Amino acid sequence: MRITILGTGTSTGVPMIGCSCKVCTSSDPRDKRQRVSALIELGDTTILIDTSADFRAQMLAHHVRKLDAVLYTHGHYDHIAGFDDLRAFQFLKLPVPMCYANKETHEIIRSTFSYAFDAKPNRPGGGVPNIPFTIIDAASFMIGDIRIAPIVLDHGIMDIFGYRIGNFAYLTDCKRIPVASKEKLMNLEVLVLDGLRYTEHPTHLAISESVALAKELSPKMTYLTHMNHDVLHAEAEEKLTKNVRLAYDGMKIDVE
């Protein structure tokens, strides 16, 4: 299984508009962070986690011409904003991906992109996304022969989903991991985990909290994502343990 980390930035992206801090003006490409998303390729199956606000640019940069499924973590705009660009598969008469989301996230997407769901069949102009959805709960489900395990996370103000696929788990946008979810995260090879900044935040893990969770869950490797412009990549990695690193846009991870 190959995971491509498409974006590692917080909702504003890095650099942030109008900012001249040392991270936003850094020449290190690892400090250029699009909004968070990940691509999973296993055999002939390609799965995307979240259509981020940078979805179109990410698909073009990584030459993605096929998506079998989209797994949504939650309905915050930076995670769903690229939904409309799924139309490209329709225009090219390619199979459109099945989208998987819990009921709350699906309702947010329906409300945000109401024109895609409320449009009359013969609406002039066309070009409206016609994307199928499957509503999921915390039960595992299959995409082809790949088992997907939703992981309930506490995002501070709402419960959202992370996902475990085989020995890999992707947990963005969380403040706490419930005990029952921790039990589903044992024996991981690779964990991608929220790590917003150094100081505490009400809805995201601070980096010190992420490191403590990584120690508790004990995957072979943990990569932090969803960083803001307080986190300079090279500087942060000097302080981290050898089995906790920062992810960066374009990183590729192979998992057994």
Give the strands of the sheet with 244-246, arranged side by side.
141-143, 146-154, 159-165, 168-171, 190-194, 221-225, 244-246
Confidence of residue 142 (pLDDT cuts 50, 70, 90): very high
How many whole angstroms separate alpha carbon 65 and alpha carbon 62?
A: 9
Amino acid present at 67: L
Q: Convert the pLDDT of each residue in 82-131 to its tens digit.
A: 999 999 999 999 999 999 999 999 999 999 999 898 866 556 556 788 89
Going by C-alpha positions, the residue among 212, 233, 223 that lies closest to residue 188 is 223
Tokens of 114: 């109401």
Between strands 221-225 and 190-194, the pairing is: parallel
Contacts made by residues 108-115, CB under 8 angstroms, sequence distance 24+:
108/75, 108/80, 109/72, 109/75, 109/80, 109/83, 109/133, 112/75, 112/77, 112/80, 112/83, 113/83, 113/84
pLDDT in tens, 151-180: 999 999 999 999 999 999 999 999 999 999
pLDDT at 121: 58
Lowest mean pLDDT among 34-43, 66-75, 121-130, 191-200: 121-130
For the stretch 192-244, pLDDT in tens is 999 999 999 999 999 999 999 999 999 999 999 999 999 999 999 999 999 99
How far apart are alpha carbons 30 and 28 in whole angstroms? Answer: 5
Contact yes or no for 50/70 (Cβ under 8 A): yes
Residues in the chain: 256
- The residues, ordered by sequence, that sit 6+ positions from 16 with a Cβ below 8 Å of its Cβ are 24, 229
55's tokens: 């979805």
Domains and CATH numbers, the chain: 2-254 (3.60.15.10)
Predicted local confidence at residue 196, as pLDDT: 98
Buried residues in 121-158 as b, exposed as e (16+ CB within 10 A): eeeeeeebbebebeebeeeeeebeebebbbbbbebeee
In this predicted structure, what is the pLDDT of residue 127?
A: 79
